[in-house]
Amino acid sequence: MNELSASSANVDQAAAVLRAGGLVAFPTETVYGLGADARNPAAVARIFAAKGRPADHPLIVHLAHAGQLTAWARDIPDAAWRLAEAFWPGPLTLVLPRLPDVLDAVTGGLDTVALRVPDHPVALALLAAFGDGIAAPSANRYGCVSPTSAQDVHEELGNRVDLVLDGGRCPIGIESTIVDLSSTKARILRPGNVTESAVRRVLGEPLATESNRFVRSPGNKPSHYAPRARVVLAAPEEVELRIGEWHKRGQRVGLLASHWPTTLPDNVTLLPLPESVQKQAHELYHCLRQADHLGLEVLVAVMPPDVGLGHALRDRLRRAAGLGDNGEPAQVQPQPLPGVEP
Ligand code: TXA
Ligand code: MG
């Protein structure tokens, strides 16, 4: 793998790699993406192979500006232009009816395509140099934690990627909000930094409820974003109880929290989170990776309040814990630890 700083010469080289059908990992404001030419089926196939991702999980096509929407989507509703105007470039993905020539490999065979204009100078420079859509999922192996630094990409994909543009840490740290505009009522498929109330304010009408998001977003499986450590969720008042339960079983336990009890058992490792939810989002995936680097077996994570960006953080923590939308067990459960009662 070639890891390059994000100079303009290197951006041009990255665009050439994309044109030749190669894979380029690049920074966005949310997480690092694993990019390929979205018009080249062989290049798109390499994304799925590199990630170990099932072929029916659709990809987001990244664009340089909203004017390119018409090259990918049809029947674009006024709502899409209004959201693009309000939030692009930015951490918002729009799902729209697709044009017939959009590759099935990109959409997972769906009749819709996901599109976004990222707000990162390196991503925008690459998109401008390349000149067309770049299909890019998060640059991690399937189901694992999204990378927020070039080093993380290296750890996830090694030399399965031809070139990594290093743009430092991603400022936001969790993936974009996905809004489905392909049916009559707009629906949030994945919460993110652009909150539901911000979307509602721009649209001026209520959104559809989230209940069937998995039907519409097959790649949105509940066990995404999971570290190797078992993630155990705790309300603030349950922290000591949860730590005690796992500590008693001889597990190497960590605590991920912005507030913690004054007395923690010896050898419980504290992964402190900052106070603000914005900063927590920035640190979350970094901390999940750190838990694995430290060899922790259990990570007790305190759920933030369900307001604003806290909603998206709770979603990612639930998925890291292998739980679905409402705390229901996911189809894919974390493997039980040997010798430990579930
Ligand atoms: O912030 C982000 O969105 C990052 C950066 C790299 O842009 N990308 C990202 O991509 O998170 P990925 O592939 O890890 O997640 C994309 C999500 C998946 O859950 C997928 O199912 C959903 O978008 N998706 C893509 N196309 C869709 C479609 N046509 N309908 C519904 N969901 C779709
Ligand atoms: Mg992903």
Report which ligand 1 atom has the smallest distance to the Cα of 106.
26
Q: Which ligand is nearest to the CA of 214?
A: 1
Tell me the average pLDDT of the chain.
91
Q: Which residues contact 161 (CB under 8 A, 6 or more apart)?
A: 1, 23, 24, 25, 34, 50, 139, 153
For ligand 1, whether the C-beta of 68 sits within 6 Å is no
What three-state secondary structure class fits 76? coil
Report which ligand 1 atom has the smallest distance to the Cα of 174.
1
For ligand 1, whether the C-beta of 193 sits within 6 Å is no
Tokens at residue 322, please?
Answer: 């292998």
Q: What is the pLDDT of residue 265?
A: 84
Alpha-carbon gap, residue 29 to 122, rounded angstroms? 10
Report which ligand 1 atom has the smallest distance to the Cα of 118.
7
For a mutational test of ligand 1's pocket, the pick from 53, 145, 156, 217, i.e. the residue with the most ligand atoms closer than 8 A to its C-beta, is 217
Secondary structure element (H or E) that encloses residue 280, with its range: helix 277-293
Residue range 247-262: mean pLDDT, rounded: 92
Instruction: Write phi, then psi, for 314 (nearest 5 degrees).
Output: -60, -40
Residue range 297-315: mean pLDDT, rounded: 96
> Which pTM does this prediction carry?
0.92
Q: Is the pLDDT of residue 216 over 50?
A: no
CA–centroid distance, residue 221 to ligand 2 (Å):
10
Low-confidence winner among 36-45, 167-176, 332-341 (lowest mean pLDDT):
332-341
CA–centroid distance, residue 339 to ligand 2 (Å):
32
Alpha-carbon gap, residue 109 to 82, rounded angstroms? 27
Residue range 70-96: mean pLDDT, rounded: 98
Domains of the chain, CATH where assigned: 2-220 (3.90.870.10), 230-320 (3.40.50.11030)
